[in-house]
Amino acid sequence: MKIITVAHQKGGVGKTTLALNLAACFAQGLNVGVLDTDLQGSLSGIKDDLGTINFVPFNGQFKDLSQQPFDILIIDTPPYLSTQLSDLFAISDFVLVPSKVGFFDIMAIKATIELLKQAERKRPQLKYGVALNMVKPRTGLNKSVQKILSDYGANLLTTTVSDRVSFTRSAITTGVFNSQDEKAKKQITGLADEILTILGL
């Protein structure tokens, strides 16, 4: 089983939406579980509507997660500094760090990247990537943002995810794959494929 954790210590960057849609994408051919460690319980609130995605109740412990009977387990995390992140990174195979393109959103990545680098020193096999999310039309990755990410030593993924209504409605539709938005489906599929490639799958 591969564990993919979605983390960023800033709220409002779309962690839960990406976690849900990636799970829906992977579930088209794999046995997928989702774990909601966020006290807001966004995924918990729709657990009965997840279809082929398996909801894993959170008991506050991480040590037994590797024993879950899934091909992939996706973990959603809370939007604040938490001692849990270090514990989660210690068991994760890949950490997805979503971020908006805004200056303050990019600046806020630094603390998460530092935690990831600490985890990498203990587990060199840990992989991670920053995904630009909720990108508005004609919004590019300007040089200032590029420099900040470069200074942090952040691994920027190729795939970007747009700011689309179908993503906003994901909690109602349990994912863009239940919508007619082909562009959204293509973006999530691209992100899923990029993560699997990094993991060597």
The DSSP-derived string for 18-37 is HHHHHHHHHTTTS-EEEEE-
- Going by pLDDT thresholds of 50, 70 and 90, the confidence category of residue 140 is low
Torsion of CA 158, 16, 68, 54, to 10 degrees: -110
What whole-number distance in Å separates Cα of residue 154 and Cα of residue 152? 5
Q: Are 27 and 174 in contact (CB under 8 A)?
A: no
Give the model confidence (pLDDT) of 170-200 as tens digits. 888 888 998 999 999 999 999 999 999 999 9
How much is the average pLDDT of 87-116? 89
| Amino acid 50: pLDDT | 85
Q: What are the structural domains, with CATH classification, of the chain?
A: 2-198 (3.40.50.300)
Decide if pLDDT at 27 tops 90.
yes
User: Residue 187 burial (CB < 10 Å; 0-12/13-18/19+)?
Assistant: buried
| pLDDT tens, position by position, 43-66 | 877 888 888 899 988 887 787 787
Nearest alpha carbon to residue 134 among 110, 105, 107: 105
146: which 2 tokens?
Answer: 């590029």
